[in-house]
Amino acid sequence: MINHIAIFKGKQVRRIIYNNEWWFSVVDIIEALTDSNKPRVYWNAMKTRVKVSDGIELSTICRQLKLESPDGKKYETDCANTESIFRIIQSVPSPKAEPFKRWLARVGYERVQEIEDPELATKRTRALYQAKGYPDSWIEKRMRGIEIRETLTDEWKNRDVGGDKEYAILTAEISKAAFGMTPSEYKKFKGLNRENLRDHMDDLELIFSMLGEASTTAIARNRDTQGFSENQKAAEEGGAVAGNARKELEQKSGRRVSSRNNFLKQSEIKQLNK
């Protein structure tokens, strides 16, 4: 399952691909529609109200799926697909309801298109980065990094590594060996919360991330690693390839590769100073 964040009128809505369709965080949608500072309380009260007034259990049209929370960990969260979200928002008195329905229909349709033509997902991702102001040279590295990451997770899947939890552990092993920090530690280092870590990396950080994951893939293939333990060893060694290269560069350049700065903000500052 792949996690994404969509934006509706400045509000983040977490979503996840499950059974080839988008499932959305219900509490995020409640917050986006109502501006409530306690969307979980609102959602629980709404379920009770609808059950009493209409005799409908809204929980039955939801599914608990793991989404990333602000602390970087994944928790089971009430999620609903497009059809069920339309039913839920009927019970939310909000002037944003109609614009949200149109937004939801568009987002859902985009996923259908992407299933039929996978290249569209890549094009949309590239266009999103361009709209955010990232330069083409950075986007090329980021897109290549996404491909390398997908190749690695495909290898793990084929080598009997069990799902998102074990993927996260192996990713942490690579990052620790490559940068001396796990992804959660790296996010704290950069002062990030829910943001995507790699979207805030500069060129060198992306390059060493790619090297660590590509090396891990190569080691796993060459050794035909099977199961979590063997792939954990490959992850440590693949990350170490990147880590050793990083240390050598730092020694010769006199500059640390890992940066607290947000790459996009750095670029904006440079533009302003021109």
Asked whether residue 127 is domain-assigned, the answer is no
Q: Convert the pLDDT of each residue in 114-169 to its tens digit.
A: 545 556 667 778 887 888 889 999 999 999 999 999 999 999 999 999 878 899 99
Q: Which two tokens stand for residue 121?
A: 């997902």
Asked whether residue 128 is domain-assigned, the answer is no
10, 98: one domain: yes
Please state, in angstroms and rounded to a whole number, the distance separating the CA atoms of residues 228 and 88.
Answer: 40
* Residue range of the domain that includes 74: 2-116
Mean pLDDT, the chain, rounded, equals: 86
Asked whether residue 161 is domain-assigned, the answer is yes
Asked whether residue 123 is domain-assigned, the answer is no
Please say which residue of 116, 147, 172 terminates a domain: 116
State the average pLDDT over residues 247-267. 85
pLDDT of 111? 58
110, 143: one domain: no
Q: Convert the pLDDT of each residue in 25-75 to its tens digit.
A: 999 999 999 988 899 999 999 999 999 988 889 989 999 999 888 777 788
Q: Is 7 helix (H, G, I), strand (E, B) or coil?
A: strand
Asked whether residue 124 is domain-assigned, the answer is no
Higher pLDDT, 116 or 173: 173
pLDDT at 113 over 70: no
Asked whether residue 152 is domain-assigned, the answer is yes
96, 19: one domain: yes
**108 CB-side CA count, 13 A:** 16
148, 222: one domain: yes
Q: Provide DSSP, 160-173.
A: T--HHHHHHHHHHH
Name the domain count of the chain. Answer: 2
87, 195: one domain: no
235, 267: one domain: yes
H helix count then E strand count, the chain: 11, 5
Reported pTM: 0.60
Q: How many Cβ atoms are within 10 Å of 272's Cβ, its own excluded?
A: 7
11, 100: one domain: yes
148, 111: one domain: no
Q: Which two tokens stand for residue 229?
A: 């333990």
64, 167: one domain: no
Asked whether residue 21 is domain-assigned, the answer is yes
Please state, in angstroms and rounded to a whole number, the distance separating the CA atoms of residues 230 and 233.
Answer: 5
Please state, in angstroms and rounded to a whole number, the distance separating the CA atoms of residues 78 and 115.
Answer: 24
Q: Convert the pLDDT of each residue in 178-216 to its tens digit.
A: 999 999 999 999 998 878 899 999 999 999 999 999 999
